[in-house]
Structure formats: structure tokens, C-alpha cells
Amino acid sequence: MTGLLTRCSHQLCRYVPRRFYPGGPGRVKRLVLSRLFQPQNLRVDQVLSLEGTSGDLTCKSQRLMLQVGLIHPASPGCYHLLPYTVRAMEKLVRVIDQEMQAIGGQKVNMPSLSSAELWQATSRWDLMGKELLRLRDRHGKEYCLGPTHEEAVTALVASQKTLSYKQLPFLLYQVTRKFRDEPRPRFGLLRGREFYMKDMYTFDSSAEAARHTYSLVCDAYCSLFSRLGLRFVKVQADVGSIGGTLSHEFQLPVDVGEDRLAVCANCHFSANMETLASSQQSCPACQGPLTETRGIEVGHTFYLGTKYSSIFNAQFANVHGKPSLAEMGCYGLGVTRILAAAIEVLSPEDCIRWPSLLAPYQVCLIPPKKGSKEEAAAALMGSLYDDIAEAVPQLRGELLLDDRTHLTIGNRLKDANKLGYPFVIIAGRRALEDPSHFEVWCQNTGEVVFLTREGVVGFLNTVQVV
Ligand code: ATP
Ligand code: MG
């Protein structure tokens, strides 16, 4: 253990001079919990007044996320995303990037300000009604804040006048804020007026190719939710104002969900009740009984055909050199909604559980209380932190030291349990044994094991991060 800690100019870390790591910087950044910005413990009435809602019951994910300082209400349907949430969201975006790029997705970033002319071209300027947040610039020109980007992306691709069928398909996606003046924003990040969406738009040279792309994206969504450990159902869905001919929703089954789903007990059929005739009692595929569950829509896929490409003239030269309209699809994932929905389905009433890959920090280290019999183990905990950072490179930046040593280990363990770190390491009485043993709590298995320093390092080497 190096002697004195030198405070660096970063708020969250203390730099400890240390020997050089192969290929890494010569310092360990110790992230300490006492310096995290984490406004918390708002009373429910304060929340409701900040949100401008009139007493809508909050749901579990909203309550927990407010309690532990993951989000903070700004105005109705708008939240500040606080440091833990931003870390989890960045991880989610990395998983999404991996899945989208594995099928050929190319990331773009389109403006949120979207000119009225684009929307007038598809008549959605009127069709979208009050949901569209509209504004004017200083010249009186009208815009909306993009709720989705079919118009923008189709105009973008249409501007390329020399596309050949050989260049297709294009799978263009982005992760950006979307704006919708929802009539009833509620349940925190589950239904906001400003939220993050991953939206992908695909351009193919034939209907057959577009259907193939459609199934590739659906498979990528299945892979994403499986990697997050979230049980989902893929249901037939209504095409709504987006249009097109084929559509599926990815739903997380849970009671607080706003969608009603019909699931067949005998075969794979499932559909959003919106798409079924009200008289439909039995499965249209096998006549088996349909059961109803509720779900949170976390993703939506549409096969659009040429609905948008024909309006904006998004064309390419086909195999005969003749101009031909692109066959399109569009594919949404509710990024902020997935975070809240995952917490909703994975957490018990009083503490947060994350998909392991998304936990904001993988490991929380709890040194002994100041003035306690175990105090001498504090330095051991500091050097364990540095050893893990050195020997387990994928966990650098994933280690949080709970330096609030005026609190007992028990109290800090309670907080750690509430935040849902996958691993909590405690330097208690057995840290003073020779060799030292650290207590390791594993969130997923509920196991508690005592390990030596080498044991801890070996154990953490198996942790998967994204
Ligand atoms: P909903 O039926 O829940 O209003 P939608 O069908 O209007 O959603 P889409 O246009 O399909 O939503 O948007 C793609 C994805 O964006 C949705 O599957 C959902 O996960 C997410 N999303 C939509 N609206 C919101 C919102 N208000 N807040 C958070 N996420 C949202
Ligand atoms: Mg939808």
C-alpha cells in the first residue's frame, strides 16, 4: 500500500501513485462512493409535485430509482439521469451497438430538430396531432422535436442519387433522445415525454431481401434480451401511425405493463390484444385457449415496404440499371424504458436488481468502520482494490470503494444491497487473519464466500463485462 492518498482534481477519484501497469497508466484511480453525486430520498409528495402528476401511483422501478438516486424528476415526463443510470445506459448502448453492428448496422446521429416540411410530406404533421412537440425558429419556420425518424432518414437516403443495388442493404441506426407529448407520462422512465430510443431504418433492394433483414433484426433483438437475462415475448402487433404491413413487439411480461397480450398456451402464437378482433376467444393458429397477460413494450419492429421511399423517392439502380424504390423497415428499442423495465421485472420490493451486464459498477468494496477492532484492515482493502484493478483489467473502472467509514459495515452493506452491485467485498474480522480473508457477497447466487486476495482476483477474473 502506498502511503498518503493524493486527491486529484477529479471529483470522484483519488489518484494513488503506483508502479506501472503493462500497457496501462502508472496510477490507479480509486472511485470513492462519498463523492458520487446521488440526490436521493425524495418524498413521494415532492416527486409528484415535481412531476406535475396528480397522485398517479408510482410503480416499483420508479420508486426505487428515485429512492436510491438513479433519477431525479425535472418536469412532467422528464427526468435527470444521474451517474449510476448513465453508466448503466452506456453499457446498454454498448450491448445494443454490438448486436446492431453484428448484423451490419451503421451508426448515425440525426438532428432532433425536424422541419415541418418533412412531416407534411407524409401527412404525419397532422396525423400525429398533439403528440408532436412543435416549435418555430426566429424566422417563423416550423419544426418538431423528433418523436421518430422515418421521414428524416428516408430523405437522407433519397438525397443519394447514385445508389446501386450492390450497395444495399443499408441498416442505419442511432441512439438519441426522442420527444413525444404523451397524454399521460408516468411510471418514471417507462413513459416519458423525452426518452432515449435506438431506432434503426433499413433499405433493401427487394421485398424478399427486406423480409430477410426483418428477421435478422428480430433475431438480434432476441439475442439482446437473452444476453440481458430478460424473459420476453415477441408478439404480433398493430402497425399504428407508422404504417407498413408486418409488425412485432417485444414485450416484458409484468403486471404494471400497459399493454394487454394474448398468449396461446398450446403453440407459439402471441399478439397484442389491439390486433385481435374483440370476439377472438381462441388462438387463430391452433384454436387453443388464449390467456391474457400484461406487458411492457420494449421494442417494436415494422416492415414498411415502400410507404416512405415512394414519398421521398428513395431509389437505387436495380440489376437492370433501372431506378427502383427501396424496401424499408424500421425498428425501435426503448433504451431508457428497457433500464426501468428490467429493474421492474428483476427487483424485489425494496432493492434494485440489474441485468448483470448493466450494473453501474460490478464491485463495491467495503472497508471496516473507523475506530472498530478491524480498522487495521482498511489498508488491506485499499491494496486489494489496486490489485484487482491491476490483475483484472476488465474491472478497472468497475470498482467502487465505499469510503463512508463513519458508518458500520452492516449499514453500508444494506445500501450496497439496495443498489444491487453484483459483487460486494467486505474487509471484516477475517481480513486480519494470516493470510487475510475477504468476505465476498454474490448477488446472482446469493452466495457468501471467504477468499484470500489471490482467491478474490481469480474469482473476479471470470466476471463478464460489456
Ligand atoms: P407505446 O405504445 O408504449 O406508447 P409506441 O408503440 O408508441 O409505444 P414506438 O413508436 O413503437 O412506441 O417506439 C419504439 C420504442 O420506444 C417502444 O417500443 C418503446 O420501448 C419506446 N417508447 C415509446 N414511447 C416511449 C415513451 N413515452 N417513454 C419511453 N419509451 C418509449
Ligand atoms: Mg410501438
Q: For a pocket test of ligand 1, which of 197, 239, 249, 338 has the largest count of ligand atoms closer than 8 A to its C-beta? A: 197
356 in a domain, yes or no?
Answer: no
Instruction: Kindly give the pairing relationship between strand 105-107 and strand 170-179.
Output: parallel
Q: In a 3-state reduction of DSSP, which class is residue 308? A: helix
Q: Ligand 1 atom closest to Cα of 258?
A: 3
Q: Does residue 332 sit in the same domain as residue 368?
A: no
DSSP-derived secondary structure letter, 186 = B
- Label residue 2 by pLDDT band (50, 70, 90): very low
Q: Cα(344) to centroid of ligand 1, in Å?
A: 17
Q: Does the pLDDT value for residue 1 go beyond 60?
A: no
By C-alpha distance, which of 249, 352, 343, 355 is closest to 295? 249
Q: Does residue 227 sit in the same domain as residue 334?
A: yes
Q: Cα(464) to centroid of ligand 1, in Å?
A: 30
When computed from its CA atoms, the radius of gyration of the chain, rounded to whole angstroms, is 26
What is the average pLDDT score of the chain? 92
Q: How far apart are CA 249 and CA 271, in angstroms?
A: 9
Residue 192 CB less than 6 A away from ligand 1: yes
Lowest mean pLDDT among 53-62, 251-260, 333-342: 53-62
- Label residue 41 by pLDDT band (50, 70, 90): low
Q: Does the pLDDT value for residue 451 go beyond 80?
A: yes
Q: Does the pLDDT value for residue 231 go beyond 90?
A: yes
Lowest mean pLDDT among 26-30, 115-119, 407-411: 26-30
Q: Does the pLDDT value for residue 243 go beyond 60?
A: yes
Q: What is the pLDDT of residues 254-299, one digit of tens each?
A: 999 999 999 998 998 999 999 988 788 899 999 999 999 999 999 9
Q: How far apart are CA 119 and CA 137, in angstroms?
A: 16
E strand map for 60-210: 71-75, 78-81, 105-107, 113-115, 133-136, 142-145, 170-179, 194-204
376 in a domain, yes or no?
Answer: yes
What does each C-alpha distance from 355 to 98, 254, 442, 443, 464 come to in angstroms? 17, 16, 14, 11, 12
Q: Does the pLDDT value for residue 7 go beyond 50?
A: no
Q: Does residue 139 sit in the same domain as residue 246?
A: yes
pLDDT of residue 181: 98
Take atom 19 of ligand 1 and give the residue whose Cα is closest.
334
Q: Does residue 414 sit in the same domain as residue 332?
A: no
pLDDT of residue 8: 46
Q: Does residue 289 sit in the same domain as residue 188?
A: yes
- Label residue 55 by pLDDT band (50, 70, 90): low
By C-alpha distance, which of 333, 314, 334, 332 is closest to 324? 314
- Do 183 and 341 touch, CB atoms closer than 8 A? no
Q: How far apart are CA 379 and CA 385, in angstroms?
A: 10
Residue 248 CB less than 6 A away from ligand 1: no
Q: In a 3-state reduction of DSSP, which class is residue 192? A: coil
- Label residue 24 by pLDDT band (50, 70, 90): very low
pLDDT of residue 40: 75
pLDDT of residue 38: 87
Residue 124 CB less than 6 A away from ligand 1: no
Q: What is the pLDDT of residues 393-445, one digit of tens each?
A: 999 999 999 999 999 999 999 999 999 999 999 999 999 999 999 999 998 89
79 in a domain, yes or no?
Answer: no
- Which positions ≥6 away from 99 have C-beta within 8 Å? 220, 221, 223, 224, 227
Q: Does residue 290 sit in the same domain as residue 408?
A: no
- Which positions ≥6 away from 120 have C-beta within 8 Å? none
Q: Cα(189) to centroid of ligand 1, in Å?
A: 11
Take atom 18 of ligand 1 and give the residue whose Cα is closest.
299
Q: Does the pLDDT value for residue 183 go beyond 60?
A: yes
Q: Does residue 194 sit in the same domain as residue 136?
A: yes
Residue 334 CB less than 6 A away from ligand 1: yes
351 in a domain, yes or no?
Answer: no
Residue 353 CB less than 6 A away from ligand 1: no
Lowest mean pLDDT among 1-10, 243-252, 381-390: 1-10
Q: Ligand 1 atom closest to Cα of 242?
A: 10
Q: Does the pLDDT value for residue 9 go beyond 60?
A: no
Phi, psi of 241 (to 5 degrees): -80, -10
Structural domain including 447 reads 5-30+361-460
pLDDT of residue 245: 77
Domain count for the chain, please give it: 2
Q: Does residue 12 sit in the same domain as residue 96?
A: no
Residue 148 CB less than 6 A away from ligand 1: yes
Q: What is the pLDDT of residues 361-381, one digit of tens each?
A: 999 999 999 999 999 999 999
Higher pLDDT, 14 or 111: 111
Q: Cα(247) to centroid of ligand 2, in Å?
A: 9
* Strand partners for 200: 173, 331
- Label residue 19 by pLDDT band (50, 70, 90): very low
By C-alpha distance, which of 242, 233, 351 is closest to 296? 233
Residue 298 CB less than 6 A away from ligand 1: yes
Q: Cα(297) to centroid of ligand 1, in Å?
A: 7
Take atom 31 of ligand 1 and give the residue whose Cα is closest.
334
Give percent of the chain with pLDDT exceeding 90.
Answer: 83
107 in a domain, yes or no?
Answer: yes
For 228-251, what is the mean pLDDT?
Answer: 89
Domain boundary residue, one of 313, 345, 377: 345
Question: Where do we find the cell 453500508?
Answer: 412
CATH number at residue 416: 3.40.50.800
Q: Cα(289) to centroid of ligand 1, in Å?
A: 29
Torsion from C-alpha of 142, 148, 150, 154, nearest 10 degrees: 60
**For 84-108, b where at least 16 C-beta lie within 10 A, e where not — what string?**
bbebbbebbbebbbebbeebebebe
Lowest mean pLDDT among 16-20, 45-49, 109-113, 441-445: 16-20
Residue 252 CB less than 6 A away from ligand 1: no
Q: How far apart are CA 251 and CA 102, in angstroms?
A: 23
DSSP-derived secondary structure letter, 275 = G
Q: Does residue 226 sit in the same domain as residue 282?
A: yes
Higher pLDDT, 125 or 240: 125
Higher pLDDT, 342 or 7: 342
Q: Cα(222) to centroid of ligand 2, in Å?
A: 17
- Label residue 5 by pLDDT band (50, 70, 90): very low
38 in a domain, yes or no?
Answer: no
Phi, psi of 339 (to 5 degrees): -60, -50
Q: Cα(300) to centroid of ligand 2, in Å?
A: 5
Q: What is the pLDDT of residues 342-353, one digit of tens each?
A: 999 999 999 999
Q: Does the pLDDT value for residue 29 go beyond 90?
A: no
CATH number at residue 282: 3.30.930.10
Q: How far apart are CA 290 and CA 283, in angstroms?
A: 6
Q: Cα(77) to centroid of ligand 2, in Å?
A: 18
- Label residue 53 by pLDDT band (50, 70, 90): low
Q: Which ligand is nearest to the CA of 338?
A: 1
Cell reading at 127: 396525423
59 in a domain, yes or no?
Answer: no
pLDDT of residue 277: 83
81 in a domain, yes or no?
Answer: no
Residue 182 CB less than 6 A away from ligand 1: yes
Enumerate long-range contacts of 158-167, CB under 8 Å, 24 or more apart. 158/309, 158/312, 158/313, 158/314, 158/315, 162/317, 163/315, 163/316, 163/317, 164/316, 164/317, 165/205, 165/316, 165/317, 165/318, 165/319, 165/324, 167/316
Q: Does residue 404 sit in the same domain as residue 439?
A: yes
pLDDT of residue 4: 40
pLDDT of residue 428: 92
Residue type (1 letter), 437: H
